[in-house]
Amino acid sequence: MTMRSLMTFLCCSMLLTLPATMVTTPAQTVLVADDWPLFRGNSLQTGVANGALPAKLEIRWKVDLKKGIESTAAIVNGVVYVGCYDDHLHAFELATGALKWKSKLGPIKAPPSFFKDKIFVGDEDGMFYCVDAVNGKKLWDYETNGEITGGATFADDTVIFGSHDASLYCFDIKSGKVVWKTKTEGPVNGSALIANGQTFVAGCDSHLHMIDVKTGKSNAKVELSGQAAATAAVIGDKLYVGNMNNEMQGIDLKKKEVLWSYAPKRGQPFYSSAAVTDKYVVAGNRDRNLHAIDRIKGDVAWVFQANGRVDSSPVVAGMRVYFGATGGTLHVLDLAKGTEVQSLDLGQGITASPAVSRGCLVIGTTDGLLYCLGKK
């Protein structure tokens, strides 16, 4: 077993972050609704695209990076930012696939995050980087003591992320100086979420911890049914997250209690982060299925068997849901029925999640192929 695989099975913790509204100056890129700046596309981490995709996906372009891609892309202002195990962060033109720049950093599994014309990303060597989004120049970095697999998010002029060194970090985005650092009960595996001035961390003690975003101090906690490895999603005052004990759980953040728990028949963990709509919570499981759960009741709506384990986090665009499987297939399903409307065999395996912007879906494969799918 590799060190990376070993870390996956070790007691893990999850940082959930919902960033404050992004404010820009005239000199900065102004984010629009169709951009995909964070791991799950938006500040609520819901995995729901604002824009539509064509009825049938076609390959617009593909690039062979030679090394595996598990990083989920960010797409802002027509530029795709993605990490790779070739030790580089890459920037491509969304329209053509032309390379804008690449920056040598380290082996990157984590999703890059875009904020104020900067890219923030961590690598498996434990380094966290701030890179100029225009030219790829490294602006500052920080060394943690564990690999970084989750994405960053932002509150005012700070960036928040977690590391497998069992720490949650908050940095000033301009200087790269630590604002605060909080120890957790185990490795921080997922991407960050901030709501109402708090961050939420689910760790090895099977609790969801509520932590003050300005001070890093604990405010409260909710007992869960297992350790969490995925990134959570929030709608209103409800949070949804899967865990390694084979359960997806809905949590009332006001009452600080679990509303419901859904367990598939086969006892496999949820590593896939949920896409959350007004009606459904949709997530993949290592039982090789995608599960759609009634968001209010916690009952199963439908289950679809995929071509392999589903660690890829689904994305909802319109009335369809898109996700990859370890068998190398990108599946496209009818959201209401759970029936397949299209499938594309893209590579040896897919563990990355889709990113959607401007009528295009971007996703990488474990054998190093980066695809842009849409209408030719």
Distances (CA, A) of 250 to 40, 207, 264: 18, 13, 15
Q: Residue 148: left if φ>0, alpha if ψ -120 to 50, beta else—which one?
A: beta
> Can you give the pLDDT at residue 203?
63
Q: Could you tell me which of 364, 368, 370, 327 has the C-alpha nearest to residue 349?
A: 327
pLDDT in tens, 9-64: 344 444 444 433 343 434 578 788 899 999 999 888 999 999 889 999 999 999 99
For the chain, list the domains and their CATH numbers: 11-374 (2.130.10.10)
- Four-CA torsion 102, 192, 347, 104, nearest 10 degrees: 20
Q: How far apart are the first and last CA of the chain?
A: 42
Distance CA(201)–CA(220), nearest Å, equals 11
Could you report the per-residue pLDDT of 230-281, keeping only the tens digit for each?
A: 998 999 999 999 999 999 999 999 999 999 999 999 889 999 999 999 999 9
Spans in the chain with pLDDT lower than 70:
1-27, 202-204
Task: Quote the mean pLDDT of the chain.
Answer: 91
Distance CA 265, CA 219 (A): 35
